[in-house]
Amino acid sequence: MPTPLRIAVLASGRGSNFAALLAARERGELPVEFVLVATDKAAAPVLQLAQMAGIPTMVLDPRDYADRRAYDFALFDRIGASKPDLLVLAGFMRIIDGEALKPWVGRMINIHPSLLPKYRGLHTHRRALKAGDLQHGASVHYVTAELDGGPVIAQASMPVEAGDDESTLAERLLPLEHQLLPAVVALIAAGRLALGENGIVFDQQALDQPLRWQDGQLLR
Ligand X SMILES: NCC(=O)N[C@@H]1O[C@H](COP(=O)([O-])[O-])[C@@H](O)[C@H]1O
Ligand Y SMILES: Nc1nc2c(c(=O)[nH]1)N[C@@H](CN(C=O)c1ccc(C(=O)N[C@@H](CCC(=O)O)C(=O)O)cc1)CN2
Residue 101 interacts with, from ligand Y, ligand X, none (CB under 5-8 Å by kind): ligand Y
Dist. CA 57–CA 191, nearest whole Å: 26
94 is in an annotated binding site: yes
Q: Interacting stretch for ligand X, rule CB under 6 A, among 8-16, 59-67, 71-79, 153-161? A: 8-16
Q: Which is nearer to ligand Y, 96 or 193 (CB)?
A: 96
16 is in an annotated binding site: yes
Residue nearest to ligand X (CB): 91
**Residue among 112, 125, 136, 178 flagged as catalytic:** 112
DSSP string, 111-140: EESS-TTTT-SS-HHHHHHHHT-SEEEEEE
Contact between 181 and 90 (Cβ < 8 Å): yes
112 is catalytic: yes
188 is in an annotated binding site: no
Q: Which is nearer to ligand X, 6 or 14 (CB)?
A: 14
Neighbours of 23 (CB within 10 A): 13
157 is in an annotated binding site: no
68 is in an annotated binding site: yes
Closest approach of Cβ 71 to ligand X, in Å?
Answer: 18
Q: Which of residues 102-141 bind ligand X (CB under 6 A)?
A: 111-113, 138
Q: Which is nearer to ligand Y, 65 or 191 (CB)?
A: 65
Dist. CA 151–CA 142, nearest whole Å: 5
Dist. CA 138–CA 195, nearest whole Å: 19
DSSP E strands: which ranges in the chain? 5-10, 32-39, 57-59, 86-89, 108-112, 135-142, 152-159, 193-196, 199-202, 212-214, 217-219
The helices-and-strands tally (H runs, E runs) of the chain is 6, 11
- Judged by the rule CB under 6 A, the positions of this chain that interact with ligand Y are 89, 92-96, 98, 101, 110, 112, 121-122, 143, 145, 147-148, 150
Q: Of the candidates 72, 156, 79, which has an alpha carbon nearest to the alpha carbon of residue 112?
A: 156
- Rounded to the nearest 10 degrees, the angle between the axes of helix 166-189 and helix 124-131 is 120
Q: Interacting stretch for ligand X, rule CB under 6 A, among 12-20, 24-32, 99-107, 154-162? A: 12-20
User: Which stretches of the chain bind ligand X, using CB under 6 A?
Assistant: 11, 13-17, 90-91, 111-113, 138, 174, 177
> Known binding site for (6R)-10-formyltetrahydrofolate: residues?
68, 93-96, 110
Active site positions, annotated: 112
